[in-house]
C-alpha cells in the first residue's frame, strides 16, 4: 500500500470545517486553547484534538507561556499548498478567459 503524501495528509486535515475555523481564528495571532474554545462551538477536549492534528500536519505551532499553551498559525504549509494549486488556478483562469472571449464575440439575441 502506498504511503499518503504530505499534501494528501494536509488535505485530510483541512477537510474538517472545525479545523479550518480554528485556522481562521489563528490568522489574527496567537490564541490559547481557552480562547479558541470560547470562539468555536466545541468542547475543550475536541478543540485540543483538532489542535493536535493541526500541529502534527505542521499548520500550527505551540508555545508554552507559564500555564498556558498558545497556538499560532504556521503559513509555510499553506504556501506550499498554494504553490501546488497554482497550475490548476492558471488552467481555470485560461478557460474562463476563453469563455469570456467567446461570450463577448457572440452577438446578443433580441429579447
For residue range 16-60, list pLDDT tens digits in order. Answer: 999 999 999 999 999 999 999 999 999 999 999 999 999 999 999
Residue 48's contacts (CB-CB under 8 Å, 6 or more residues apart) are: 33
At 6 the pLDDT is 54
Q: Which of 9, 11, 26, 35 is nearest to 61 (CA)?
A: 26
Which helix H or strand E contains 71, and what residues bound it? strand 68-73
Spatial separation of the C-alpha atoms in residues 8 and 19, rounded to whole Å: 16
Q: pLDDT at residue 69 above 80?
A: yes
Q: What is the pLDDT of residues 78-101, one digit of tens each?
A: 888 888 889 998 888 888 888 888
Grid look-up 484534538 returns 49
Determine the CATH number of domain 1-73: 1.10.10.10
pTM: 0.73
Mean pLDDT value across residues 66-88: 91
Higher pLDDT, 13 or 109: 13
Question: What is the SS3 assignment for 65?
Answer: strand
At 34 the pLDDT is 94
C-alpha cell at 36: 479558541
Cβ-contact 68, 32 below 8 angstroms: yes
Amino acid at each position: 500500500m502506498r504511503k499518503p503524501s504530505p499534501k494528501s495528509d494536509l488535505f485530510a486535515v483541512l477537510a474538517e470545517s472545525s479545523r479550518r475555523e480554528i485556522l481562521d481564528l489563528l490568522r489574527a495571532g496567537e490564541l490559547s486553547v481557552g480562547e479558541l474554545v470560547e470562539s468555536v462551538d466545541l468542547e475543550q477536549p475536541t478543540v485540543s484534538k483538532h489542535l493536535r492534528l493541526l500541529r502534527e500536519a505542521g499548520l500550527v505551532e505551540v508555545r508554552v507561556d507559564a500555564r498556558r499553551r498558545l497556538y499560532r498559525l504556521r503559513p509555510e504549509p499553506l504556501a506550499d499548498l498554494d504553490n501546488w494549486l497554482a497550475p490548476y488556478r492558471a488552467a481555470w483562469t485560461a478557460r474562463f478567459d476563453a469563455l469570456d472571449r467567446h461570450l463577448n464575440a457572440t452577438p446578443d439575441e433580441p429579447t
